[in-house]
Amino acid sequence: MTSTADSRSSAPAPGSVDPAPPLDPRHDPESTLWARPGPTPEQARADVAIAAALFGAGVLSLALGQAIGMFSDPAPLPLAVAMLALAVLPLAWRRVAPAPVMAIVAVAMIVAGELSVQETIILNIALFSAIYTVGAWERDRRRARWSRVAVIVIMFAWLVVSFFRAITDAPDMEGPGLGALSPFAAVLMQQLLVNVLYFAGAYWFGEHSYRAARQRALTVARTRELERQRDLLSRQAVTIERLRIARELHDSVAHHVSLIGIQAGAARVLLDSDVERARGQLADLESSARSAVSDLYSMLGTLRDEDAGPVVSAIRLTQITDLVAESQASGVVTELEEIGEPSAVSDVAQLALYRVCQEALTNVRKHGGTGTHAVVRLRWLEDAVELEVSDDGAGRSRGYAGGAQLGIAGMRERMAALGGSLEAGPRERRGFLVRARVPRDRTALDRGAQHRTSPERTSPGPGVPDTPQEESGRMAP
């Protein structure tokens, strides 16, 4: 009996697509062992109808042959009809058992020829159809090849024997001949040429039909695989979009909710002692709540609008000053330092750096404690933009190791998507540091797409350098 835990572990993950079941090599057109599927009921009924029609035409041709008097000593009519039936009616099963039907038709034709059955047209059509069908429908390709070769060799041997018989009793022909060829020899050469073309055509058309059927099966299989891959990509796109929305909700709503909690607590403490300051805290709380609701409406409105194009964020790096002000108002002493000359940065990079700053300051408020001092540094380097958020850990216990790892993972994903990097960990002396770096050149941004599929960079261990100089001699304030 399967346990509940086992059932849960075997369930497919959300957004995943069940892998395609392994194909039998005989059903896989990519495999050399592929075999053509058997005839459909419609094809089987068509074969029966064709065999019956050919038999009817054969009886009519036989009657006309007897009227013409093709042979001086023809087979009796009942025996001729029986031989015609033996050669033609098995074609009703030509696609079900190609090789046995071909053998029966070939034997019947030789016997009919030896008995001087006065019908040759339908018998030749039947043999051509039987040889063709073996090439087109026989699932065992080795049997298809050698059985046709055997029948063709036997038929040519019978043809040679018939030629020798004709030579011993050659009729007088009044034709001019062709050089050294007598009229009778020319007739024999003509018959040989006709038979070569006859058997070569039956063989080639059968092979061509089989290859065409395999190509059609291959096209169908590839179409199905493309549809499965398209479904897989669609589900993955939905999953990626869900993760993006979850990250946006975490970055935006968690920031506002944590700020609301701090402001509500401050207002409660000041309500009895300092009503004006409490009123100010409540006003800030109302503003934070409105901002959170506005962000939610904006995000949900984008999800509802199916016709909306790519959303370009209106958030700019200049709005980091608002984050610093909110952090300051919540009781955390926060400073902003901007180093270097600002220059153009893509909207996506500005949004990513803004969210990193928002998440880092939220973590400072949640885990920093009373008396924590935070510094936000925005560095404009020659080839990158670097954002650093650090705190002194004055209100944090010495054993703190970073807190919200989910938020750090989200920040790292944002930076990796832009070809950048993120470092987060305890500082060497005390406190916590988050440093995000985004390249400013387009080539590096393009490399971000390749970086998404690579393993995530592990978060740094204890003792993240406090300044860029300590890490690799990069530009410092």
Span 422-431, pLDDT tens digits: 999 888 878 8
Residue 278, pLDDT above cutoff 80: no
Domains and CATH numbers, the chain: 34-230 (no CATH), 312-477 (3.30.565.10)
Q: What is the pLDDT of residue 152?
A: 94
Per-residue pLDDT band for 204 (boundaries 50, 70, 90) equals: very high
Per-residue pLDDT band for 466 (boundaries 50, 70, 90) equals: low
Q: Of 109-118, 339-348, 436-445, which one has max mean pLDDT?
A: 109-118
**Token match 């700020």: residue?**
259
The two three-digit tokens of residue 449, written as one number:
């797409």
The two three-digit tokens of residue 471, written as one number:
């890490």
Q: Give the full edge-to-edge strand order of the sheet including 384-391.
A: 333-339, 373-380, 384-391, 432-439, 421-426
Q: What is the pLDDT of residue 303?
A: 55
Mean pLDDT of the chain: 77
Q: What is the pLDDT of residue 309?
A: 45
**Which of 222-231, 285-294, 306-315 is predicted least confidently?**
306-315
Q: What is the pLDDT of residue 444?
A: 43
Contacts of residue 94, defined as CB under 8 A and 6 or more positions apart, other chains included, come to: 47, 51, 101, 102, 129, 130, 133, 137
Q: DSSP state, 430? A: S
**What's the CA gap between 390 and 367, in Å, rounded?**
13
Per-residue pLDDT band for 51 (boundaries 50, 70, 90) equals: very high
Q: Is pTM beyond 0.85 here? A: no
**What's the CA gap between 161 and 113, in Å, rounded?**
12
Q: What is the pLDDT of residue 413?
A: 82
DSSP one-letter string for 248-292: HHHHHHHHHHHHHHHHHHHHHHHTTT-HHHHHHHHHHHHHHHHHH
Q: What is the pLDDT of residue 169?
A: 64
Residue 150, pLDDT above cutoff 90: yes
**Which of 82-86, 244-248, 462-466 is predicted least confidently?**
462-466
Q: What is the pLDDT of residue 58?
A: 92
**Which of 78-87, 149-158, 201-210, 444-453 is predicted least confidently?**
444-453
